[in-house]
Amino acid sequence: MTDLLGLLPEGAHAALAVWLAARGEPAYRAKQILPRLWQRPIASWDEATELPAALRHALGDAFPLRRLTLAARQVSSDGTEKFLWNLGDGEAIESVLIPEGKRRTLCISSQVGCALGCVFCATGRMGFRRNLSAAEIAGQVREVTLLAAALKPTNVVFMGMGEPLLNWEAVDTALTILNHPAALGIGARHITVSTVGILPSLAKFARRPEQFRLAVSLHAPTPELRRELMPIEKKYALPQVMAALGAFRRRVTLEYVLIAGKNDGRAQADRLVELARPLGALVNLLPLHPGGAPDLSPSSRAQMLEFERRLRQQGVEAVLRRSRGLDISAACGQLRVELEARRKVVPEEHARVE
């Protein structure tokens, strides 16, 4: 059976057109059906009451709408919402919705777990399970919209579970579904892909013509320190990553989690300036979420403000973000890991830190 939600709009339209013609249905039915996939999404074909009942039933047989199942939902006092979605094979992924004024940013996952083992990330402790399909990636936006139209995300960031550029083929398709006016219709400048710097896929991403945003998980200004925090440094070294960013045609954001006694000193700030200033990059300073790494400590508020000030004094645009969802399991992968531990079903090889 064809999964229309995993196809680009043109492909979905073509598949519907062939199927409708074989049934002897009028061609205009395809234009009635297509908006029900993403623009005005439905939970099941039965809800598409503008279509004849017989056609709705046939669509359900030929093109079942494969859904993500909501397994848990947590709401923070600051409005942040965390969703745990069950997939069809028993795996689960997370999304986080962050409201801020009129903006609703959904942080989505691209893999089940992650193979990279960054020491400050709960997902890294889970290990890698599998890649998500394009339908499962874009489906996170669709499912939140189905919960309530008022929750429909205005912005999407690939900063949930997994490394997006290690699942480039599915992410590439999902980006089009998220952005295409006949699909979810989110502006390219409102979609950000975050990566540790997977160079082959980064080059492919850079060749896309849309103005998608790029954020790079830096977290250390020297190869030595980055290797300590992020094992991927052994394969894609910081100098190579920075050279690739220098060739990127759009403004880059550098993500930097501040960890007490690790990467929050004056010397690290000055080295970060040397990386960010030539790029004209924005530096996002992020407090370490305590749920992401119980063995590490967040920098003090005073230390974070001093770090931010030192960057700005040297001509780097820096923004100190505030932690969201501190009263819920909002750290990346935290809810999934906590629920698995509670159920005592985590295989030993997935429980260790890589």
Domains of the chain from N-terminus onward: 4-62 (1.10.150), 69-351 (3.20.20.70)
Q: Measured between alpha carbons, how far is residue 316 from residues 167, 234, 272, 275, 278 in Å? A: 32, 27, 9, 10, 9
Q: Check: CB of residue 232 under 8 Å from CB of residue 216.
A: no
Catalytic-residue membership of 163: no
d(CA 306, CA 268): 12
Residue with tokens 């579904």: 177
Q: Which of 94, 136, 163, 233 is catalytic?
A: 94
Q: Is 143 among the catalytic positions?
A: no
- Looking up tokens 């999404």, which residue turns up? 41
pLDDT at 353 over 50: no
Q: Which amino acid is at 11?
A: G
Token digits of residue 29: 């039915």
Please tell me the least confidently modeled range out of 26-40, 160-174, 311-325: 311-325
Cα(144)–Cα(103) distance, rounded to whole angstroms? 15
Sign of CA dihedral 126, 127, 130, 135: positive
Q: Predicted confidence band at 125 (pLDDT cuts at 50, 70, 90)?
A: confident
* pLDDT tens track for 33-87: 999 999 999 999 999 999 999 999 999 999 999 999 999 999 998 899 999 999 9
State the catalytic residue, choosing from 107, 118, 121, 332.
332
Q: Is this model's pTM higher than 0.85 or not?
A: yes
73-87: pLDDT as tens digits: 999 988 999 999 999
Residues 6+ apart with CB under 8 A from 257: 120, 219, 263, 286, 287, 288
